[in-house]
């Protein structure tokens, strides 16, 4: 019976069961750059970034030429890492289970040295050094070079025993010319080894004295490109014969996810399983709908994001500043806050600066930050009361939204100074807008246009798009350039009408809403 494949968001993806991006090219690169060169390295990526899937695929590809031991530290209990004897017992037992389940592995390493190690527990010789001597003898007698892979390595992050384990691996790595050992060691987890040690020894003396300083930098991308997403959709198309424009849909998915593996699969899964009639729903509008559903769901990925914002307030403040004040943060890999945000997958380096890793994370962050202030914010309260005023036959009246915003902003915040308006104005508009479109529409900030002076909001509501440019007033000439920029931007989105919201600090300003024409484009301009 033919297996019916599906989009998977839980655990490891398998080509025979799931629609997934082919990993052949990445596996080839990893082998050439790391495995064939006998490197020890760490695959550090954010939660649900495809680390386990990559390890499983890599292990399968290497089995012909290597004896591959693939362990998962998540299967070892917390008590296994409390004391050295418990760790050795658990490690050896885990290895014995893997050998019993894998005939090829058993044939390659089940020698006298292996048998001796398995009897350590019975003989109560439970020292780390004895276990490593046995591992060395196993590697010497093995029929193939032995590779050790450990998934979820940060499951062991809060204990000294794991640091001692890493130190032993390092020592045997340095002695490989005279003492046989693993051909390669691959560790996979969210935390890099330096940050694992920081959790154990947070003082500055030990901050950068890592027992894993022999590891090669792992520089193979695990994000999916638009073209790679296309290849996955092609497989789906073959099975389901949809009417989708594969190139367009793949690009739309990429625009929201920037190729983050879990997010790519999650959007596809929602369209396939939650939106009816798969032949017709693979359109841009349904990808937008899938984004709304995903952002409204409770996922472990978003739960982790919320938790990390609470655990690392300096990271939360950095993200807040980037999003609401348009501050350009210079990328510095030695800045611990930036390092953490990159490690968790929330930001990436974009040239010399830092940006939020993808549009979905950005929307999620905006929603989190805004929700913290929404209940106490007068503008949000007014928006909720007036929501019905902005809807006509299911369509959003953006002109009316701007008119009421100008009125309420002047009434509530009109006496505040320039500094307040510059720092808070755009956030206040989002606090006003979100309750109006919530439940039906989405919004996101166009990252390429966001800076301290300009921010473009793209609103998707009931199949209709609205472009709203928010600007700090810097004089008439600057404002006219902004109008021309918005007109050009409308061309990109194939829209004839756009909206400009200016925060004007001029004492003689004329507040209100007016309509102007720039070329062939209509611009509704609101001034507060």
SS (H, E, C) 280-302: HHCCHHHHHHHHHHHHCCCCHHH
The residues near 351 (Cβ < 8 Å, ≥ 6 apart) are 331
Over its C-alpha atoms, the chain yields an Rg (Å, rounded) of 28
Structure tokens at 1: 């019976």
Instruction: Note the pLDDT tens digit of each residue in 258-283.
Output: 999 999 999 999 999 998 766 678 99
What is the average pLDDT across 57-81? 93
DSSP state of 215: P
According to the model, what pLDDT value does residue 210 have? Answer: 63
Q: Which residue has the tokens 């389901």?
A: 240
Confidence of residue 61 (pLDDT cuts 50, 70, 90): very high
According to the model, what pLDDT value does residue 207 have? Answer: 45
d(CA 467, CA 480): 17
Percent helix, strand, coil in the chain, to 5, is: 55, 15, 30
Q: What is the largest CA-CA distance in the chain?
A: 90
Instruction: Note the pLDDT tens digit of each residue in 202-232.
Output: 444 444 456 778 889 899 999 999 999 999 9
Instruction: Note the pLDDT tens digit of each residue in 397-416.
Output: 999 999 999 999 888 887 77
According to the model, what pLDDT value does residue 117 have? Answer: 84
What is the average pLDDT across 361-388? 90
pLDDT higher than threshold 90 for residue 24: yes
According to the model, what pLDDT value does residue 513 have? Answer: 95
According to DSSP, the residues that pair with 355 across neighbouring strands are 348
According to the model, what pLDDT value does residue 341 have? Answer: 94
Range of lowest pLDDT (309-313, 366-370, 479-483): 479-483
Structure tokens at 417: 């100074």
According to the model, what pLDDT value does residue 448 have? Answer: 62
**Are 353 and 328 spatial neighbours (Cβ–Cβ below 8 Å)?**
yes
Confidence of residue 477 (pLDDT cuts 50, 70, 90): confident
Pairing, β 442-445 against β 454-461: antiparallel
pLDDT higher than threshold 60 for residue 452: no
According to the model, what pLDDT value does residue 202 have? Answer: 45
The residues near 122 (Cβ < 8 Å, ≥ 6 apart) are none
The residues near 459 (Cβ < 8 Å, ≥ 6 apart) are 396, 398, 433, 437, 441, 442, 443, 465, 466, 467, 468
pTM of this structure: 0.90
Torsion 299-303-306-312 (CA) sign: negative
According to the model, what pLDDT value does residue 245 have? Answer: 95
pLDDT averaged over every residue in the chain: 88
Most confident of 8-12, 192-196, 273-277, 454-458: 8-12
Element (H, E) at 427: helix 418-437
Range of lowest pLDDT (131-140, 324-333, 462-471, 472-481): 472-481
Residue 321: Cβ within 10 Å count = 14
Range of lowest pLDDT (137-151, 195-209, 293-307, 467-481): 195-209
The three-point CA angle 304-449-261 to 5° equals 35
According to the model, what pLDDT value does residue 204 have? Answer: 43
Higher pLDDT, 250 or 126: 250
d(CA 379, CA 431): 7
3-state secondary structure of 464: strand
According to DSSP, the residues that pair with 386 across neighbouring strands are none
CA 228 to chain centre: 17
d(CA 432, CA 411): 14
**Are 144 and 108 spatial neighbours (Cβ–Cβ below 8 Å)?**
yes
d(CA 317, CA 314): 5
What is the average pLDDT across 142-171? 88
pLDDT higher than threshold 80 for residue 106: yes
256 closest CA partner among 222, 228, 291: 291
According to the model, what pLDDT value does residue 465 have? Answer: 93
According to the model, what pLDDT value does residue 125 have? Answer: 64
According to the model, what pLDDT value does residue 450 have? Answer: 58
d(CA 339, CA 373): 28
């Amino acid at each position: 019976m033919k297996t019916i494949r599906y989009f998977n968001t839980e655990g490891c993806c398998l080509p025979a069961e799931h629609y997934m991006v082919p990993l052949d090219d990445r596996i080839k690169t990893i082998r050439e750059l790391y495995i064939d060169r006998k490197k020890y390295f760490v695959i550090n990526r954010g939660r649900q970034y495809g680390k386990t899937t990559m390890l499983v695929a890599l292990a399968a590809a290497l089995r012909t030429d290597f004896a591959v031991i693939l362990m998962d530290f998540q299967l070892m209990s917390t008590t296994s890492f409390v004391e050295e004897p418990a760790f050795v017992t658990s490690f050896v037992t885990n290895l014995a289970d893997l050998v019993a389940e894998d005939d090829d592995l058993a044939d390659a390493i089940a020698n006298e040295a292996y048998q001796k190690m398995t009897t350590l527990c019975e003989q109560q010789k439970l020292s780390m050094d004895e276990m490593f001597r046995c591992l060395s003898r196993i590697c010497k007698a093995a029929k193939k070079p032995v590779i050790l892979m450990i998934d979820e390595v940060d499951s062991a992050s809060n204990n000294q025993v794991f640091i001692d384990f890493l130190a032993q691996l390092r020592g045997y790595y340095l002695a490989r010319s005279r003492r046989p050992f693993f051909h390669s060691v691959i560790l996979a987890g969210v935390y890099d080894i330096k940050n694992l040690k920081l959790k154990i020894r947070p003082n500055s003396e030990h901050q950068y004295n890592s027992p894993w300083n022999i590891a090669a930098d792992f520089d193979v991308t695990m994000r999916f490109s638009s073209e790679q997403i296309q290849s996955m959709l092609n497989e789906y198309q073959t099975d389901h014969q949809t009417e989708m424009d594969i190139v367009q849909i793949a690009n739309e998915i990429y625009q929201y996810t920037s190729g983050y593996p879990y997010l790519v699969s999650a959007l596809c899964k929602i369209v396939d399983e939650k939106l009816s009639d798969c032949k017709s729903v693979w359109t841009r509008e349904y990808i937008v709908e899938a984004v709304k559903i995903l952002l409204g769901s409770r996922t472990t990925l978003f739960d982790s994001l919320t938790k990390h914002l609470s655990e690392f307030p300096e990271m939360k403040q950095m993200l807040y500043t980037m999003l609401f004040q348009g501050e350009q943060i210079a990328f510095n890999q030695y800045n611990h806050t930036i390092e953490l945000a990159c490690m968790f997958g929330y930001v990436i380096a974009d040239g010399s600066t830092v940006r939020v890793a993808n549009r979905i994370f950005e929307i999620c962050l905006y929603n989190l930050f805004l929700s913290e202030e929404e209940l106490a914010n007068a503008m949000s309260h007014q928006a909720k009361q007036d929501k019905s005023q902005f809807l006509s036959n299911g369509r959003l009246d953006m002109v009316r939204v701007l008119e009421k915003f100008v009125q309420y902003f002047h009434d509530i915040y009109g006496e505040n100074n320039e500094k307040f308006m510059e720092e808070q104005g755009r956030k206040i508009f989002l606090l006003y807008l979100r309750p109006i479109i919530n439940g039906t529409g989405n919004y996101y900030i166009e990252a390429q246009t966001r800076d301290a002076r300009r921010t473009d909001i793209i609103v998707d509501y009931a199949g209709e798009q609205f472009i709203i440019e928010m600007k700090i007033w810097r004089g008439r000439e600057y404002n006219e350039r902004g109008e021309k920029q918005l007109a050009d931007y409308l061309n990109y989105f194939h829209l004839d009408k756009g909206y400009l919201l200016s925060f004007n600090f001029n004492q003689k300003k004329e507040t209100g809403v007016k309509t102007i024409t720039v070329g062939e484009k209509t611009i509704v301009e609101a001034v507060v």
